[in-house]
Amino acid sequence: MILTEKIRIRAFFIVFAIIALIPGCKYYSFTGASIPPQLETISVQFFENRAPIVNPSLSQELTDALKDRFQARTPLRLTNDLGDADFEGAITDYRTQPVSVQADERANLERLTISVRVTYTNTADPDLNFEASFSRHEDYDARQGLTAVESDLVRKIIDQLTEDIFNRAFVNW
């Protein structure tokens, strides 16, 4: 009985010590992000919409979603100036196309695709800089029409795109 109590007390102190040390660690987080200690600030430039079809709110939604993701998942401070880590880019494609066609040659399933081009600059480690395209899509019932489901689909696709960009920059996938 005394032995198990000693083990519990030791386990408690070990767990407590680990938890106490984690906030001081700027290089790794529970999100899987690797943030070099030299990075203190982050900036996200406005993502212009250069797609042939323009959703008028998409640029602002994507830019804000990136800022929100980085603030929520990194210890970096968001700045309006150029940050130690900087993201810039453009929306390059916004399209819908049929995925599945019925016997009467009408689409019953359509796909909304959004593509973005991102340039990432890391002042602490220029080897991590990249320029890459990211593309995601969501399918929807063609009978509903895009306007009925567009805002929900855009929100889902932006969430996937921001996750992909975050992973490429900070998780090194």
With cut-offs at 50, 70 and 90, classify the pLDDT of residue 42: very high
Look at residue 98 and tell me whether its pLDDT is greater than 70.
Answer: yes
Q: Is the pLDDT of residue 115 over 70?
A: yes
Beta-sheet pairing, 107-122 with 85-101: antiparallel
Beta bridge partners of 95: 113
Does residue 31 have a pLDDT over 60? no
Question: What's the pLDDT score for residue 17?
Answer: 47
pLDDT for res 41: 97
Look at residue 167 in the predicted model and tell me its pLDDT: 95
Query: Minimum mean pLDDT among 22-31, 52-61, 109-118, 155-164: which range?
Result: 22-31
**Which tokens in the block code for residue 152?**
């929900």
C-alpha distances out from residue 89 to 46, 66, 67, 92, Å: 8, 12, 13, 9
SS (H, E, C) the chain: CHHHHHHHHHHHHHHHHHHHHHHHCCCECCCCCECCCCCCEEEECCCEECCCCCCCCHHHHHHHHHHHHHHHHCCCEECCCCCCEEEEEEEEEEEEEEEEECCCCCEEEEEEEEEEEEEEEECCCHHHCEEEEEEEEEEEECCCCHHHHHHHHHHHHHHHHHHHHHHHHHHCC
Span 136-156, pLDDT tens digits: 999 999 989 999 999 999 999
Domain-by-domain residue ranges, the chain?
A: 40-171
User: Given this model, what pLDDT does residue 20 score?
Assistant: 44
More confident residue, 163 or 2: 163
Q: Say whether pLDDT at 4 is over 50.
A: yes
157 pLDDT above the threshold of 60: yes
Q: Strand pairing partners for 110? A: 98, 140
Q: Are 115 and 93 in contact (CB under 8 A)?
A: yes
pTM: 0.79
In this predicted structure, what is the pLDDT of residue 33? 78
CATH top-level class for 40-171? alpha beta
Tokens representing residue 34 in the block: 């690797």
